[in-house]
Structure 1
């Protein structure tokens, strides 16, 4: 139990760190997006690298934001029925749908590793005037999917505890 709490804290810390990195990437996109427009339309001097770097940053935002959003339950759900369910029914629904999440993340990790390995092997770069390496971004995709998988596994075990009624037993034994 103590080991699981420690692992859960590590997973939460990693998700929080990824959220902060995502926040910095959003700021980067905003700052350099405005700068690119300024350079292009005011100074009549288009940038050759800002657009490609913003595209890469947007991919990284999606990667970094996934674990953070999942940890904070910030994904959009169809709450038409789910919102009125009891905690145990919500846990049962989450367990049932987690099968699809495991399959999706497994495929993303599996194929992401293949794509990253090929990109590293080919030393893949953007086709812009100033080549920017693509392989670091393709490498981060399966890594971030693995972190999301860790958050999903943590939530899955919390849902199992809720479904089995052990959540109440733990609270009562502490009181």
Structure 2
């Protein structure tokens, strides 16, 4: 369990830094794109497309980081005042839905990314940017989220059975 804890902590730390960098990238290039378009009347050929890709990557990295640090919003109506054992039971009951969602995201995301790679998909802009690296980030981040979900599941089982 300690190895899994260390691995997910290291992965989420890297994801946090990637997300931080992508936020800075989106801010800097988003502002410069608006400035170039509306002040200089010279819109960029590539910034808008790269910002879309950066936002997809930011969602992937942010999801990994947020789940590791338990920063996702939960339905506090039933969850907030529950004991740690009841919270663990609720988490275990929702585990099949998480696995179903992540399984579909991994399988279908990999299929879409593989097809994109096979077709050498690129953006239809003046400067073609490959799309398949971004598409591969989605099933990869889903696998990382699955690791964290499994770690939380093991922790919840320990709490339920009094071995925490």
For the criterion TM > 0.5, the same-fold answer is: yes
Work out which of the residue numbers 30, 45, 59 in structure 2 matches 1:33.
30
**Residues of 2 paired with 1:6 and 1:120: CA distance?**
34
**1:7 to partner: Cα distance:** 2.3
Write the mapping of 1:1-175 to structure 2, written as runs, cut at 5 A: 4-167=1-164
Structure-2 residue corresponding to 1:173: none
Structure 1 residue 116 displacement after superposition: 0.8
> Residue deviations 1:145-174, cap 9 Å, x none?
00000000000000000011101xxxxxxx
CA contact (8 A) 2:57 2:134 kept: yes
- The number of residues matched between the two structures is 164
**Which consecutive residues of structure 2, in runs of 5 or more, have no partner in the other structure?**
none
Query: How far has the Cα of 1:42 moved from its partner?
Result: 1.2
Q: TM-score, normalised by structure 1?
A: 0.92
Q: Give the superposed CA RMSD.
A: 0.7
Please identify the structure whose Cα radius of gyration is greater: 1
Confirm or deny: 8 A CA contact 2:8 2:68 kept in the other structure. Answer: no
- Write the distance in 2 (CA, Å) between the matches of 1:127 and 1:119: 14
